[in-house]
Structures are given as C-alpha cells and as structure tokens.
Amino acid sequence: MGGSDEQGEADQPPERTDQQSLPASFRMNRAGFGARDEGFIEYTIKAELQSKRQGASETVYATLPIIIQINTPGPPVTDFRLTRYRLYGWISSYSLLPGIGAARPTISHKAKLLFSSFKMPVFAGNLEVDTPAVIQLENPNPMPVRMQFVPDPKVMKDSPIDGIPQKMQLQALTMEIQTATEIKCDGVESSWAAISPKTIRVSVWSCLAFGPGTRPLYIPCAGDGPPIDVGRKVNLRIGRTGLMGKAYPQGDVHASFSTRHIKYSHRISYELRVVVAGEVLKFKWDSEATVLPPANDVQPGDPDWLQTPEGTPYGTDVDETPPPAFQDAWLRPRLHTTMPSVSG
C-alpha cells in the first residue's frame, strides 16, 4: 500500500492480521497540479534461488504481482439491514378526480370546475421506502427495495378525494453507487486526504425497461397493505462490474474496507419518479451502505423473479382495474370551506 509521491510496503500490524481479514487487490490514482495521489493494495509472491558453482554462491530474486479477490465466509447474506426513510410529497390537481386522470375533461366539465365552488383536490402523504444498508457483491438473492405511500390524514380529511383510492405508477428508479476513498501516507503530518468520489449510475427500473407490453409497477397507496418490493420484482443484484444481468459493465465495484493507509466506503443515492393521475412526483434520498465481498457458499437464488407465462418479468400485486368514469356529482362542494395548508 502507498500514497502520494512515494511507494512502500505498509501492511497491517502483525498483531491485527489474525483478527481482521486482508482486503482484496485495489488501486486508484488521481492526477493533480504538480502532484499525484495514489493508493493501492498489492500482493506479490517473492522467490529466492540460491546456487553454488565452483565455490562461488549466487542468489537470484524474483517478484510476481498477483491479484487477490476476497470472499465472505459462509452463504450469501439474507439480512440486508433495511433502513426506512419517510419522504413527504403532495399533488394538487383536478386530474385527481375519478375519470379525469384517465381521460381529458370535456369543455362542459372544465367550465363547471372553473365556475363552481368545488375545492381543488389534494393528494398528500409520506412515501415509506426501505433500502439496504448492506450490499453483497454477486449475491444471488435480490436486494430488497420496498416502498408504499401512506396518505396524510390531516390533509386528506379536507380533500374532496378523501377515501377515493389513487394509483401511483413507478416511472423510473435509479441508484448511484458513490465511492469515497481516503488515503494517508507515512511520515506526513496531515490527516486523511480525500480522493474525488467515483459514481456508478444504475437504472433499477424504467417504464420502458423491458420493452413494449411490460406491465407497469404500482406503489400501494392505501397505507395498510404490504409494500411493493421493487428489488425483488426486477431481480436487483450488484456485481463486481455493476448491475448483474447486463451485457455491458457500468464500472468496477469493490467491497468496503479500511486499513492503516486506505479507507474505502460507499454511499447510495436514490432517485424515484412516480406518476399519479398524470402528475409527476419526484423523490430523492441518500443511504450509507457497506459493500461486502461475494460469498463462498453460493446457493441458487430466489426463482420468483423469473418470467411469468405471459412473458413479463414479474407479476403485480396491485389491482389494475380502470378507475370509475367521471361524474358531475364530484363537482358538488363539501360542507367545509377552509383549505388545509400544504407545503411541498
């Protein structure tokens, strides 16, 4: 291991080698103005050959660099240490009324909406998402990413669509695997030097991900049912070259580790885009994550993600019946006259 402008051997102290496994081979570098930062973990095999001939001895040395890949003992992890995040979002639009979101209102309906005392519908609440704090490379078990939308009762009780079920369609979900590298050199009084982070962008889901005819994914909005596990639906797995199952690599992914001279950690940034009654809602959140090496004992993964007889890569647990047709009765104002204050 080494750093900055000098190289040298700096293994872990002997008293620690029997308590902590050594990391895999690793190398990174960054060019700067008049200097270069470099951090690496390198393993070598050294050979020494001694020979004697006519009373004279000769010693020849050889050094062969080798690449070491570390695995985690035992079977693949199944406890991903899910962390819950609550993200508030809201929509205010007449398209939330039954029938309007699926079809454009007629001129007559638009006039009634404009001149009536009917209140603007509001749909608000918390998106609850559970994302893993532990990711294991090459794990055959999909990473769980669970989500559901829980309506805000304080807002919904004054909304004309209170009690009317809404559909939240998942349009796109992306995750960015951000790596943070810090290096420290012997003989330098300064603390750890941070290297520019590296980002690998992974498209977990998009409405066009599996081509025409793919059934959409819906996020439950009742707040009392089981959440949808998007990770399991799409067989989300991360390997050493990015998203597994892709024909092309997205970038090298190393396991998290910390030594005397190098710290290598991960942070995951998520971006979610959903559609409710034709209106788009966006959510963003960050999560700290520990990336583990692949497991030694790899068993067959969960087969539930395999294609269904209809040819789609998943099934849906949400009722996909169309909403009721638009009715003029929805234009009648309710008894209350005050509008709750909602902030995005």
- Dihedral angle, C-alpha 166, 171, 179, 15, nearest 10 °: 50
What are the tokens at 306?
Answer: 């395999």
Q: What is the pLDDT of residues 156-189, one digit of tens each?
A: 777 777 777 788 999 999 999 998 888 877 665 6
Environment class of 142 (CB within 10 Å of its CB; exposed 0-12, middle 13-18, buried 19+)? buried
Residue 91 vs residue 35, higher pLDDT: 91
The answer to which of 16-20, 41-45, 129-133, 152-156 has the lowest mean pLDDT is 16-20
Q: What is the pLDDT of residues 114-134, one digit of tens each?
A: 555 557 788 889 999 999 999
Q: What is the pLDDT of residues 42-76, one digit of tens each?
A: 899 999 999 988 888 899 999 999 988 888 888 99
- 291 within 8 A of 137, measured Cβ to Cβ: yes
Q: What is the pLDDT of residues 216-231, one digit of tens each?
A: 899 998 766 799 999 9
Q: Which residues pair with 229 in a beta bridge?
A: 146
Q: What is the pLDDT of residues 277-328, one digit of tens each?
A: 888 999 999 999 999 999 987 654 444 333 333 333 444 343 444 444 444 4
Mean pLDDT of the region 264-273:
94
pLDDT at 107: 58
What pTM does this model have? 0.71
Q: In the predicted model, what is the mean pLDDT of the chain? A: 75
Instruction: State yes or no: pLDDT of 198 exceeds 60.
Output: yes
